[in-house]
Amino acid sequence: MRYFVILICFTLFSCKETQQNNYKNQPKNEQYITVLGIAQDAGYPHIGCQKECCTQFYSGKKPKQKVVALGLVDIKAKQKWLFEATPDIATQLADLEKHHLKTSNLIDGIFLTHAHIGHYTGLMYFGREALGKQGTKVFAMPKMKNYLTKNGPWSQLVDLKNIVFKDLKNDSTIVLNNNLKVTPFLVPHRDEYSETVGYKIEGTKKTALFIPDINKWEKWKKNIIDEVKKVDIAFLDATFFKNGEINRPMSKIPHPFIEETVNLFKNETLETKNKVVFIHFNHTNPALQKSSKEKIEVEKLGFQFAYEGMQFEL
């Protein structure tokens, strides 16, 4: 009996350690991408949600999920970049320092995709009320740069030189160093304040796509299947699992449902399907639930789902 109790305690402790140390179990390559957040703009739990999906957090059954962001790390060059400036940016930058690369420079640059709240509002923490440091590089497209420059409170960041812009152009590659380069490309989305881009991130060995927000795939001038085949990994918009998931007209907030993307790739090889990593989940999306039947069925088909701490060599 005593042995049994000791065994149970050891098992529970081991499980807890495994959950808390995703990072320690990942290989540290010289250049890699790490997932720093997976939730849609409003995060998880979601404001005003009293449904089971979010009450699981308040009852202690499910942890908070940070808003979508990727870290790009070059151990050899001692540099790191952030894709998206989310409301969770403080802990995401701390994550990069604690688990990946600590340098004298908090971050070597931030790449923005567009002006929706989960993707740029974290810039506020670089201002005088928070970090107050000058010179943080922000890679932005023309409309995004114009929006931040001409509208407060973001314009104060520009005026005080808390952020300095590095201009991006559609399909024009930025060389970060000898090992890494990044190319932005326009995608169709609800562009109220700025254009929207995805990114191709290229290392010396592998290449990744990052498209956290887009309207339906057929609205894009490029073929998503062809684009996935050209790379080694593709982080794709998976905001909603299927139509009717929320009590709002979903045509007003178009995204490719996971069901639609899965159907689009149904005749492709397992190798191609395995390149797809779904990300950017709304709080209602069953893909946020670790053991949901919907998620398990899609995984059986060969697709992947992003989680915090996930890493991909470049």
Residue 21 confidence (pLDDT)? 44
Residue 54 confidence (pLDDT)? 67
Cα gap 58→47, rounded to integer Å: 12
- The upper half-sphere exposure of residue 311, i.e. CA atoms within 13 Å in the direction of its Cβ, equals 18
pTM score = 0.89
Residue 15 confidence (pLDDT)? 37
Residue 108 confidence (pLDDT)? 98
Residue 290 confidence (pLDDT)? 81
Contacts 24+ apart (CB under 8 A), 95-104: 95/36, 95/71, 96/34, 96/36, 96/71, 99/23, 99/34, 99/309, 100/23, 100/28, 100/34, 100/71, 100/73, 101/73, 101/75, 103/78, 103/79
Could you report the per-residue pLDDT of 200-252, keeping only the tens digit for each?
999 999 999 999 999 999 999 999 999 999 999 999 999 989 877 767 776 67
Residue 8 confidence (pLDDT)? 37
pLDDT along the chain (314 residues), means of 10: 40 37 58 97 81 71 87 97 98 97 96 97 97 97 98 97 98 98 97 97 98 96 98 96 76 86 98 98 88 94 97 97
Question: What letter represents residue 159's amino acid?
Answer: D
Q: Which domains does the chain have, with CATH numbers?
A: 27-313 (3.60.15.10)
SS3 for 34-101 is EEEECECCCCECCCCCCCHHHHHHHCCCCCCECECEEEEEECCCCEEEEECCCCCHHHHHHHHHHHCC
Give the Å distances, CA to CA, from 54 to 2, 163, 231, 234, 294: 38, 35, 35, 28, 18
**Are 168 and 148 spatial neighbours (Cβ–Cβ below 8 Å)?**
no
State the pairing for strand pair 69-74/311-313.
unpaired
Length of the chain: 314
